[in-house]
Structures are given as structure tokens and as C-alpha cells.
Amino acid sequence: MTWVIIMVFLFPCSSWAMRCGKGLVTVGDVKAKVLTECGKPQSRERVGSKETRYGHERRGGKKVTRLVEQWTYNCGEGDFIYVLTFEGGKLVKEEPVARGKGPSRCGGN
């Protein structure tokens, strides 16, 4: 049994939840939920687009292009500054990039 607990800590989870006020946001959430839980981001930046092909191109396969955006939240002193990456309106990555400063700006309604 102890080896199971040790293994859990050796392989960190790639999708931790980010706390915003009383709520949580995590990979897979949509922009509307993030806005409700965390409020407006400190900054929003369009960083490109991502193309995905479904099926074979010559046999009528589809090409889908999704907008890629990054939202930045400063969760204040004692917490982090988080960058949330969205593809096509869904949260695909959340990462702490620096220590937060000043009052928290991670609180929604």
C-alpha cells in the first residue's frame, strides 16, 4: 500500500485546479466558467491558432482551426501569477509563472 502513495507523489498531476475566490477552475473548463469563477483577467493575448485535421484530407476530411488565447491572473501576495491557455474556448493548460504581488485579482462573482 505504501508504494502506491509513493508513486502518486513521484508522478505529479498535469492538471491541478486553480483557486479563484471560493471557486476552482481546471483544464477542460470553458471561458464562461473561468470568467464567473475568477473575474476578468489582468491581460488577454491572442497567441495564434491551432489546426487539427480529422480524417483523410483527400477523402473529405475536415480541417478545424481553433484560436489560442492566454489569460493572465495575479492571485496576489503569497500565491502565484497564472497563465491560462485556451484553445477554441476551452482551458487546455494552466501554469504558475511567477510569485504574485499585491492584492489578489483572482476572485469572481
Q: What is the pLDDT of residues 39-53, one digit of tens each?
A: 999 999 999 988 887
- Residue 93 in 3-state DSSP? strand
Q: Which residues contact 13 (CB under 8 A, 6 or more apart)?
A: none
List residues bridging with 61 in a β-sheet. Answer: none
> Cα torsion at 23, 26, 31, 37 (round to 10°)?
10
Q: Which CATH number fits domain 15-99: 3.60.21, 3.30.1450, 3.40.1000, 1.10.10?
A: 3.30.1450
50-72 tens-digit pLDDT: 888 777 666 667 888 899 999 99
Per-residue pLDDT band at 93 (split at 50, 70, 90): very high
pLDDT (0 to 100) of residue 57: 64
10-37 tens-digit pLDDT: 444 445 688 888 889 999 999 999 999 9
